[in-house]
Each structure stands twice: as structure tokens, then as C-alpha cells.
Amino acid sequence: MRKSLPEAGQDWAALESTLADAGVRDVRWRDGRAMVYVFHSGEDVMQVAHDAYGMFIAENGLGPAAFPSLKRMESEVVDIALSLQQAPADATGCMTSGGTESILLAMKACRDWSQRHRPVLGTPKVVVPYSAHPAFNKGAHLMGLEVQRLPLQGDFTADVQAMADAVDARTIMLVGSAPCFPYGVIDPIRDLGALAVERGLWLHVDACVGGYLSPFMAEVRAGAGLPPLPAWDFSLPGVSSMSLDLHKYGYTAKGASTVLYRDRAFYSAQVFDFDDWPCGRMNTPTFAGTRPGGAIAAAWAVLHYLGRAGYVAKAGAIHRARERLRAFCARLDLPVYGEPLLSILAFGDRQGDILAAGQGLYKAGWFSSRVQNPDGIQVMLSPGHEPVLDGYLDELERQIVAVRASGGRAQDRDIRYS
């Protein structure tokens, strides 16, 4: 039956309890049970995001003249992002609603900039590794572009030679991830950057996951005397644009990401400028019209609440949890896919069906993603996982041992998680 609007309004106390009941079957992310979707870094951080969001809940980023506060906050957030990514003086960017929008906007900017400066004959092509996020195909579908996905190397990173071989006269963009979502490994961005420079192509680095984590993980590694992370930021001359999500490892409220460009001219190609309607000129940088002031204020507040030291401490918690998970995988002979150095790790099982173990974990209340070709469980760690990791590893071991003993196979081989 279709629900209709209640005739009379209800009071908040009743609605609040209905909402609380609505969530009882959701994954218990506050207890660290969500290994995807939620980036829990403590109740204090959430409170800051919540309060800041509430203070600007009605304000609209569409109107910078009406809300100079939001304009200033956004510009400071972008400045912070640029400085974290070693961006040159002429670099710029803006906040968006999330990783997908950041990626789509970079594709739009690349398409329009290329049309003007390096036009190609036929459908413009974007060359990406197999592990790139589906947002690139979504963008291509919406914008009349073509995506070519190339197989990965044995270490699950982008195969730069295969991508170079795929570049043709229609190619406008190369993509690498820092890191990719499926395996959490960082693509060889230095080599992709060199290829981009050599062939005059636009390289987009998808750092939706690593953007606000990698600079701090680098400090954790330096402190522990570990080798540095592979370089992937604007210090590499071939990098034209990047997407970095605040609502992932920036720990801010959902609906916040950043898209950055090496050059102001690239950014200009992102902006949509229109004036052929009764209200005159409407100049919008993003796909959205109305932009939630709360998401901007929450991002600004959390960045300032945590500061560099806070983010390094959070990265340290993730680093320790990841190393414990890797040691666990080694002990149980579970192959880890590639060399994950940040927060995501995927692993399989040579002695049993890993997807069956994943299903068992799900039934036991732990929500993780899965990968295919080869099959694996994928875990995306947040600082909030460190204290509960023993519980996860105990359950994982139970499931692995049981599946190995029974030879059971997951009935549901469909690995979609949404």
C-alpha cells in the first residue's frame, strides 16, 4: 500500500522513537561492524560535524553573495586540500557532494577543455584500469564519452604499458587511483603521469579514499621508519586533476568531497555558465544547484577540530589495525591481494570458499564488501575498528575454519553489496 502524508503532524518525541526503531536492523556501525560505507572516528568528531551541520542546515552554497560565510569556509577547505596535495600556486578546485560528483566534474572539465584545446575526431576516450570506480563509466554514459578498462598487473595495480598501448587519437584522459576501492593499492601514478606528459593527456587521480588519509599515513610510516608511500599528488607534473572525499577519511558529514585542478583554466571548463532565462546569469560550478551549507560547515569544522595531529593519530589507528589484519591473514594462509598500504585490504582463501566465509560474517552481523576475479573479502578500515578488531578476527577465523572443514560454497555468488 502506498503511504500517504499524515493528516495531522506528529510530535518529535514520537517521531524520534520511530526513527530509532527504523534503524534497529541496520548494521551496527557504532560497534565497528561496518567495514564499508561508514568512517567512524569517534563520537566527539561526529558531534562536531553534527553541530556544525546543524548551524548551517538552512544556508545554501548556491548563493555566495548571500552566504559569504559558506564561500569563505569552502575556499579554506579547498586551500587545505591543495596544500595537502602539494598543489602549484595556480591550482584551484571546489567542494562537491561526493566522490562520484567530483569524478564526473573532472571528466566534464577534461571533455570541455580538450574540445577547446586538443579536439579529437569521434567519441573521446578515457583509459582506466579495471579497478577504477564505476563512476567513470557513469560519467562517460552521461557525457557521451567512451571508457576502456584495462586488465591489472599481477600486483593488482594499473598496467601502465597496457594503458599506453590503448591510447589512441581519440584518447583524452588517463585515470589512476590512490588507492583503488577493490584492493586498496595505489596505482603507479608517477609512471601514468610520465605517460600523460609524453602523450599530452589529462591524468585524473581518483583519491576519493586516499586524499585525506595518505598524507597522514605518510607521517605514520615515517615515524615508524617504514619506506614512504608511492607518490601520487600534484608534485608529479602529469597530474591534472584529482578527487578527494571529505566524507570518507576526512571524517566529515556525508555529502562532502573536493575536486582539484592543477590549473585554473581546467577548473573554468568545469563551471556551467548560463543566462538565457528570465533570472539572468546563473553560474554554477557543480552539477547541483542548491548546495547544502551544512556539509560545507561540517567539513570546515572537522578539519579544524582534528588538525594535522588529529588526522595523524587516526591514521595511526588504521595502520595498526591493517597490520594486525595482515598478520592474521598470514597466520591463516589467506592471500592478501597486492600491497595495501592505506586502509583497504582484500584477501582470498586457497583452502575454502572465501565468499561463503563472507556470508557467514554477514549473518554474524559484520558487513564487509567482496571482490571478484579472484574472489575475496574486502575490508575498509576506520579508526573505530581498532578497538573491535579482535571480535572481527575471532568471527572471521571461525567462519574460515568452518568453511574449510565443510567445503561449503556460498549459495549467492553475486558479489554486489548495494
Ligand X SMILES: Cc1ncc(COP(=O)(O)O)c(C=O)c1O
98 makes contact with ligand X (CB under 6 A): yes
The end-to-end CA distance of the chain, in Å, is 25
- Nearest approach in angstroms of CB 87 to ligand X is 20
Cell numbers found for residue 17: 522513537
Strand duo 272-274 + 282-284: pairing: antiparallel
Residue 252, CB-side half-sphere exposure with 13 Å CA sphere = 31
Task: Tell whether residue 100 is a contact of ligand X (CB under 6 A).
Answer: yes
Choose one: 24-32, 99-107, 270-278, 347-355; the region binding ligand X (CB under 6 A): 99-107
- We find the least distance from the C-beta atom of residue 166 to ligand X, in angstroms, to be 21
Site string (257-296) toward ligand X, x via CB under 6 A? ----------------------------------------
**Location of C-alpha cell 536492523:** 25
| Interaction residues for ligand X, span 173-192 (CB under 6 A) | 177, 180-181
In sequence order, the 6+-apart residues with CB closer than 8 A to the CB of 48 are 298, 301, 302, 305
Beta bridge partners of 380: 344
Based on CB atoms, which residue is closest to ligand X, 177 or 241? Answer: 177
# residues contacting ligand X (CB under 6 A): 13
Residue nearest to ligand X (CB): 99
Task: Between 170 and 287, name the residue whose CB sits nearer to ligand X.
Answer: 287
Q: Report the length, in residues, of the chain.
A: 418
**Choices 58-66, 98-106, 303-311, 326-334; region in contact with ligand X by CB under 6 A:** 98-106
Residue 351, all three cell numbers = 583452502
Residues 6+ apart with CB under 8 A from 168: 125
Residue 209 or residue 239: which is nearer to ligand X going by CB?
Answer: 209
| Element housing 73 (H / E) | helix 68-84
Among 99, 124, 211, 376, binds ligand X (CB under 6 A): 99
- CA–CA separation, 107 and 29 (whole Å): 33
In angstroms, give the least distance from the CB of 248 to ligand X: 7
- The three cell numbers locating residue 227: 619506506
Looking at residues 114 to 133 of the shown chain, list those that interact with ligand X (rule: CB under 6 A): 133
For residue 225 the three cell numbers come to 621508519
Tell me how far CA of residue 49 lies from CA of 95, 244, 255, in angstroms. 16, 18, 12
Output the smallest distance, CB 69 to ligand X, in A: 25
Taking contact as CB under 6 A, which single stretch among the options 92-100, 138-146, 233-241, 271-279 is the one that binds ligand X? 92-100
Going by C-alpha positions, the residue among 190, 215, 210, 205 that lies closest to residue 241 is: 205
Contact 104, 142 (CB under 8 A): yes
Site for ligand X in 197-216 (CB under 6 A): 206, 208-209
Which position among 74, 159, 191, 245 is part of the footprint of ligand X (CB under 6 A)? 245
According to DSSP, residue 51 is labeled H
Residues 154 to 173: which contact ligand X by CB under 6 A? none
Closer to ligand X by CB, 96 or 399: give it.
96
Write the interaction track for ligand X spanning residues 135-154; mark x where CB under 6 A is met and - where it is not: x-------------------
Stretch of 6-14, 63-71, 93-101, 402-410 lying at the interface with ligand X (CB under 6 A): 93-101
C-beta of 255 vs 352, nearer to ligand X: 255
115: how many CB neighbours lie within 10 A of its CB? 13
Which residues have a Cβ under 8 Å from the Cβ of 321 and sit 6 or more positions away? 381, 385, 386, 389
Contact residues toward ligand X (CB under 6 A) are: 98-100, 103, 133, 135, 177, 180-181, 206, 208-209, 245
